[in-house]
Structure 1
Amino acid sequence: MSWVAPPLALYVHMPWCVKKCPYCDFNSHGLRGEPPYATYVDTLLADLDADRVDFGAALENRPIVSVFFGGGTPSLFAPDLIARFLDGARARLVFADACEVTLETNPGTVEHGRFDGYLAAGVNRISFGIQSFDDAKLKRLGRIHSASEAEAAVKSAQDAGFDNINLDLMYALPEQTLPGALNDVDRAVALRPTHISHYQLTLEPNTVFAAHPPPLPDDDAAWAMQEACEAKLADAGYTQYEISAYAQAGRRCQHNLNYWRFGDYLGIGAGAHGKVTDTARNEVSRRWKTRHPNAYLEAAGGPARIGGHAAVAAGELPFEYMLNALRLIDGVPAEDFSARTGLPQARIAAGLVAGRDKGWLENDPHILRTTPLGQRFLNDVIASFLD
């Protein structure tokens, strides 16, 4: 199969949050006074303009298939500012007819009545960072909302007309038990979201939890939670389609699917990362923006907004591709490797043989897919494709 440009998405980073959580390693900054929200939106559009010029023909005739407002806490931005950005982006780029537009939100930062404004602005999918329905666990995680506030926020979004809603949940929380993890899933399912992201709490470098580790369940206990919660979600009609993602039929997150299928995305905003394929130059490049909001604002769409830009070396592409594709439970067609990287399948032959010999990969020449055993040892599977 010939090398073709993959689908193109748009990631928009909103860097502020009310308070930095002790487990969070994202580029987020706790509030110190009122951020310049309106100026930031104008700077986002200037950033987008500059990227369009820089990438030039590599973006031509490529509609935006999804938009994702991440953070930080994007719901700190009022609906009229989200509308200003989306209107500006549509004036600069072609949006696909069924473009998925997701806004991440913290249940503690959204005023009741705002959801209809976000819907009118063009947002059609809401993602709630709930993490747990146990008030003691929420306090330990540094969250600013309670379980009842989370439930009220989800219902408010549904009342406003949102019919595509994700809930983020974590398990293996400090001193969490298996019944506690299952109760979180029960409370989430009772709200009838269309999608649930369920992932293990890990201690990331340069976080408060890394410096002062809380007592976490051991590996065996965490695995028991994962298996039991997977079964409960399946019973409730949520199909696992990625290591940490579960969805009702037809409700898989298109933006994240594009990541996992090694699609392209423009990264706009402080610290945002992007990936663009230029088939005319035989190049996959990554670009990231300067991290601190003040420095990003001062750049005002100029060259200083770029924190770095580099072509992905051919020797790194197999690992980068597998790092994403093998997270998908159903895998990807084997021919997609060449279509998305421009490399022959011979570049991954040795890793495939090793993975199949160990029972980590399905022995099917037409599909790249992990076995259930391979899902347990996914990091080892992916490492076999390092250059």
Structure 2
Amino acid sequence: MIFIPPLSLYIHIPWCLKKCPYCDFNAYTLKNHDSQINYIQHLIQDLKNDVSIIKKRTIKTIFIGGGTPSILNNYLIKYLIQKIKTIVSIKKNTEITIEVNPENITIEKILKYQESGINRISFGIQTFNNKLLKLIGRNHTSKKIIILLNEIKKNIKINFNIDLIYGLPEQTLKNCLSDLEQAILINPNHISWYQLNIEKNTVFYYQKPNLPKDSIIWNMYNQGNSLLLQSQYQRYEISSYCKHNQFCFHNLNYWKFGDYIGIGCGSHSKITQKNGKIIRIIKKKRIYDYCNIRKIYIEKKYQIINQDKPFEYFMNIFRLFQPIQKKYFYLYTNLKIKYIKKNIKKAILKGYILKNNKYWKISKKGKNYLNNLLELFIII
């Protein structure tokens, strides 16, 4: 019998007040309110179309990302969630996350989110340093967001995450550690802490910022990680730390190679079928193409071939810090372990993976040279 992984739902909201110079996500500047209403109707139809793909499976987590979802009017978020519940089955007490920008979020808005069923907020703060905020194109101030987060901690019972970036233009080691110290002082259940990567099709790619030296970024990483661990945060993924097992269960499903359906322009889906085949779906990227009168949203649909499955599986699951039970490789890929026996042997010989009969565990060297490790699973 074929194992069917848990299923998550991702909803893409493509608008921002303005696009940040480091952002390569599928996002656009919002120009009028009417486009919001039209887009929400297409999201609902998109999900209805996808019911034939996911059949009667239950949604385990929902993530509303972007772009900047908090740019939408509250009633549209509520309306969208209500409609989703009439289209698909949703697990009771499912994690429902929304990403928010400190520029357009208030206590009142968060209370409205709670009324809609949202139980987790992810704040895109990036840094608490006002000078650095300006350099990366953010308009909120450190003082405003600190007051807001402390008020939430005091008055609202809701799970929330703080997003921070290190390796920012002109950021010093002291700046980096100060950001983490401030976040730790606020004491959220979850902190996502990423290194800035300069991606193509961003302003920073064409107008090179003054980035810290590699040696300084390495010190940021080492000292920042130690600070978070000393502050009782559990590192469960390369860039994710939490307390009291308050993981981001939506992202955890991605990293475990679970299934997910994506609705919205440029969104992706991965669906395991009853015959064991794994299907990927990509939706139309541009808003104009997505919001089409024919209500056809799929740009591309294809099957993941067997030789690509090991790389895709390990690319996700090797991000986690927990041991990887060997049996799950077969369950999630429908491939026997002997298919990757030689690749695993090479990884062990290079010191990337620790040898064990029941599970695979990445060594410290393996985490530091993750790309080298993953290359071993590219099967030609």
Q: TM-score, normalised by structure 1?
A: 0.95
Cα deviation 1:191-226 (Å, max 9, x = unaligned) = 111100001001111111111111212222211101
CA contact (8 A) 1:197 1:245 kept: yes
Q: Could you tell me how far apart the structure 2 residues matched to 1:337 and 1:256 are?
A: 18
CA contact (8 A) 1:125 1:162 kept: no
Q: 1:298 aligns with which of 292, 296, 313?
A: 292
Alignment partner, residue 339 of structure 1: 331
Following superposition, the deviation at residue 156 of structure 1 comes to 4.4
Alignment partner, residue 18 of structure 2: 19
Cα deviation 1:258-287 (Å, max 9, x = unaligned) = 00000000000111111100022x310111
Cα deviation 1:315-361 (Å, max 9, x = unaligned) = 10000000000000113211101100111111221221111111111
Kindly, what percent of the aligned residue pairs are identical?
A: 35
Matches within 5 A, 1:45-64: 45-53=44-52, 55=53, 58-60=54-56, 62-64=57-59
Alignment partner, residue 74 of structure 1: 69
Q: 2:162 aligns with which of 160, 167, 173?
A: 167
2:379 maps to 1:383: no
SS in 2 for 1:114: helix
Q: Which runs of 5+ in 1 are unaligned?
A: none
SS in 2 for 1:145: coil
The residue type equivalent to 1:298 in the other structure is N
Following superposition, the deviation at residue 159 of structure 1 comes to 5.0
Following superposition, the deviation at residue 119 of structure 1 comes to 0.5
Q: Could you tell me how far apart the structure 2 residues matched to 1:159 and 1:13 are?
A: 30
Cα deviation 1:147-189 (Å, max 9, x = unaligned) = 1122233234445524310000000111211111000001111
Q: Could you tell me how far apart the structure 2 residues matched to 1:70 and 1:356 are?
A: 38
Alignment partner, residue 86 of structure 2: 91
CA contact (8 A) 1:131 1:170 kept: yes
CA contact (8 A) 1:3 1:340 kept: no
The residue type equivalent to 2:112 in the other structure is G
Q: Could you tell me how far apart the structure 2 residues matched to 1:142 and 1:212 are?
A: 13
Q: Which runs of 5+ in 2 are unaligned?
A: none
Q: Could you tell me how far apart the structure 2 residues matched to 1:366 and 1:299 are?
A: 53
Cα deviation 1:88-110 (Å, max 9, x = unaligned) = 11111111123100000000011
Matches within 5 A, 1:29-178: 29-34=28-33, 36-53=35-52, 55=53, 58-60=54-56, 62-158=57-153, 161-178=156-173
The residue type equivalent to 2:357 in the other structure is P
Alignment partner, residue 238 of structure 2: 243
Q: TM-score, normalised by structure 2?
A: 0.96
SS in 1 for 2:374: helix
Q: Could you tell me how far apart the structure 2 residues matched to 1:155 and 1:71 are?
A: 25
The residue type equivalent to 1:376 in the other structure is N
* Structure 1 residue ranges (4+ consecutive) displaced by more than 6 angstroms after TM superposition: none
Q: Could you tell me how far apart the structure 2 residues matched to 1:290 and 1:299 are?
A: 13
CA contact (8 A) 1:4 1:339 kept: yes
Matches within 5 A, 1:320-331: 320-331=312-323
The residue type equivalent to 2:340 in the other structure is I
The residue type equivalent to 1:257 in the other structure is L
How many aligned positions are there? 379
Q: Could you tell me how far apart the structure 2 residues matched to 1:287 and 1:87 are?
A: 25
Following superposition, the deviation at residue 289 of structure 1 comes to 0.8
Q: 1:287 aligns with which of 281, 288, 312?
A: 281
Which stretch of the first structure deviates more once superposed, 235-244 or 344-353?
A: 344-353
